[in-house]
Amino acid sequence: MSIIHVVAGCLLDQEQRLLVVRKRDTQHFMLPGGKPELGETPLVTLTRECQEELGTSIGEGELAMLGRFRTQAANEPDTDIDADVFIIEDMEGTPQPRGEIEEIRWMALDDETLTLAPLLHDEVLPALRQRFE
């Protein structure tokens, strides 16, 4: 089994809805983010990925660590995801699907209607619910 390290970001709007993305030719919604390039900090990785995937930039505010999670990858068989997940406190611009992203949605933290990646469904949503309840 292989392991992929990723950095992912949780962006919540004023209604406590979470921004999720779906890559082209996939079914699972997931958090924006991706694999860090050599030498990148989490902030640099998220800034680059948000620009590439959503056409937005992360503001100067700090990232708040939600946690580090390991779970099954959504789109790669026999692969686990080791994810550093942050809450993005300040994003500039209006998110639009770009690059490999086909669709974006704002979902309530208790929404059970979308097909979610295991990282989001099993780890991130429970952590967000606990943090914001």
State the chain's maximal CA–CA distance in angstroms.
40
Q: What is the pLDDT of residue 91?
A: 86
Nearest one of 37, 23, 8 to 76, comparing CA atoms: 23
Letter for the amino acid at 120? L
Mean pLDDT on 7-18: 94
Q: Identify the pLDDT of residue 51.
A: 96
CA distance 28 to 75: 8
Q: In the 8-state DSSP scheme, what is residue 110? A: T
Q: Where are the chain's structural domains?
A: 2-132
Q: Which residues neighbour 88 within 8 Å (Cβ) at sequence distance 6 or greater?
A: 9, 10, 11, 46, 50, 58, 63
Q: Mean pLDDT in the chain?
A: 94
User: β-strands 79-88, 2-10: how paired?
Assistant: parallel
| Residue 7 near residue 33 (C-beta atoms within 8 A) | yes
Q: Rounded to two decimals, what is the model's pTM? A: 0.93
> Looking at residue 123, what is its pLDDT?
97
CATH number, domain 2-132, options 3.90.79.10, 2.60.120.260, 1.20.1420.30, 3.30.1330.10:
3.90.79.10
- Tokens 């996939």, located at residue: 26
pLDDT tens track for 68-120: 999 999 988 899 999 999 999 888 899 999 999 999 999 999 998 999 999 99
Res. 60: pLDDT tops 90: no
Neighbours of 22 (CB within 10 A): 21
By the 8 A CB rule, do 95 and 18 touch? Answer: no
